[in-house]
Structure 1
């Protein structure tokens, strides 16, 4: 099976407007979906990401703290999936709970290197 990284892009402004109850529903939806992916054998790993982080840029290794104000979008989490092909992962990604709150999923195939 091939591996794919599913990145969850979320609108930071939209996420900050969620009520505690809505945030709880979002977390529950992700937990249920992750459980379903695990049972189907597609999920290898996945986690939510904190809003803040560190960015290291260029040859000079300039360090910037996050969140990054130039971006309205943040990567809120990821799922590492396995499937036979991209079409299967696209079908899986369409069911991601992040879409219910205006989020976007990005699918990136994991590169394989022949020795």
Structure 2
């Protein structure tokens, strides 16, 4: 088995205008999806959900506000899964709630 990281990229728009009920619904989708991976014994590390604010340090000591401000999507978080192949890991990524909100899942092998 190999380890893979799922990097969740989300549309750059903030979700601050969501109602409490919408937030509960979205969180349930994420918990159900990740729980399904865990139920298969494939969840290696729950990872983290990242705050949208931050800083970016560039060569020459240049610091900008906010991560990746030059692109229209933001890094939303990550988890680590275990699978035999990249194809199997990609199959596990199907159903990710980020995909329903114009987001994406980047699937990357982790060096052993």
How does the TM-score come out when normalised to structure 2?
Answer: 0.85
Tell me which residue corresponds to 1:72. 72
TM-score by length of 1: 0.83
Q: Which residue number corresponds to residue 84 of structure 2? A: 84
- SS at 1:105's partner residue? strand
Task: Report how far residue 98 of structure 1 moved.
Answer: 1.2
CA gap 1:55/1:83 in 2 versus in 1, 3 angstroms = same
**1:17-71 deviation line (CA, Å, top 9, x unaligned):** 644433321111111112221121111122211001121111x332222144322
User: How much has 1:14 moved relative to structure 2?
Assistant: 7.0
Structure 2 unmatched ranges of 5 or more = none
Cα displacement string for residues 64-109 of structure 1 (whole angstroms, at most 9, x for unaligned residues): 2214432210011111111111111111111211112221111111
Structure 1 residue ranges (4+ consecutive) displaced by more than 6 angstroms after TM superposition:
none
User: Which 5+ residue runs of structure 1 have no aligned equivalent?
Assistant: none
Residues in 2 aligned to 1:14 and 1:57: alpha-carbon distance in whole angstroms? 24
Q: Distance in 2 between matches of 1:13 and 1:64?
A: 19
RMSD, matched Cα: 1.9
